[in-house]
Amino acid sequence: MDTEAVILRGPKDIGVGALGLTDPGPGDLVVDIAWSGISTGTEKLFWTGDMPPFPGMGYPLVPGYEAAGEVVAAGSEAPFKPGDHVFVPGADCFKGARGLFGGAAARVVTDARRVTPIDAGLGPEGALLALAATARHAMAGVHTEEPDLIVGHGVLGRLLARLALAAGVPAPTVWEIDPGRMGGAAGYEVVHPDNDPRRDYHAIYDASGDPKLLDPLIGRLAKGGEVVLAGFYAAPLSFSFAPAFMKEARLRIAAEWTRDDLIATRNLVETGALSLNDLITHRAEPADAAAAYETAFTDPACLKMMLNWKGSA
């Protein structure tokens, strides 16, 4: 089998081309992708060439770990059937290109254990499950506190705020410095940090990915408070010890989601406890991938770009 896929050949060298697919095994699925999202965190670093050494990295690669589509063939050992709709967190199935992360393609072959069944009615929002699970993973677990301050009102920041409200805790404050991103809040307040006098936050979640924010955020903590790094940071992080010492500050790094996060988040979406509405601001055809990726990475008005693969398989 062949497929059309986004191919990143090197920094800022991106386009769509034909690639061969590996043969599916008994535990595999063949999935026709309907929608794939563009990550403005990790994928942007591959696009700019700034990604630190990372297992499996190298060019050419097929990006994308936010994809939703329909099963068109299932192996004898796969617990799915043609017609099932699934979230696909990427695939490593391409001949001549690395599958990192491998979701930005018209068709993929993937281990059935990696996908998550979703409601077909989600449409392009089904591809947002990865970001929602990332937000959930940052908040879930042992000895964690829900955020009372979230830094950044992009998609991840909005999902963190929505999950906090779904958990029934007091509404967090959200910081944003871009006036164009301050709208869209429902049930919580978005403010410029210069207009926020508080310095007693217990749990600050940084969704900005800005490596220069640690000192300012530590200065806003209550004694014993925690800064959670929920973004991805290309540059080394550092902070001044004395202010952190006085605050007895704690630092936690939130890694990528687990399958439990995907299932829990999907259930929240399907029960209506978590909305994925109004997060996708831009859509593009795969043929326009080069312009779409540049828009996603450089236009602050673009919260989430989706590629529409319907009809491309």
pLDDT tens column, 85-95: 999 999 999 99
**pTM as predicted:** 0.94
Residue-averaged pLDDT of the chain: 94
| Lookup result for tokens 């590629």 | 307
Q: At what angle do helices 129-139 and 259-270 cross, to 10 degrees?
A: 110
Given pLDDT bands bounded at 50, 70 and 90, which one contains residue 96? Answer: very high
4: burial class by Cβ within 10 Å (0-12, 13-18, 19+)? buried
The alpha-carbon radius of gyration of the chain (Å, integer) is 20
Q: What is the pLDDT of residue 198?
A: 97
Structural domains in the chain plus CATH codes: 2-117+281-308 (3.90.180.10), 134-253 (3.40.50.720)
Residue pLDDT, tens place only, 226-284: 999 998 888 899 999 999 999 999 999 998 899 999 999 999 999 999 999 999 999 99
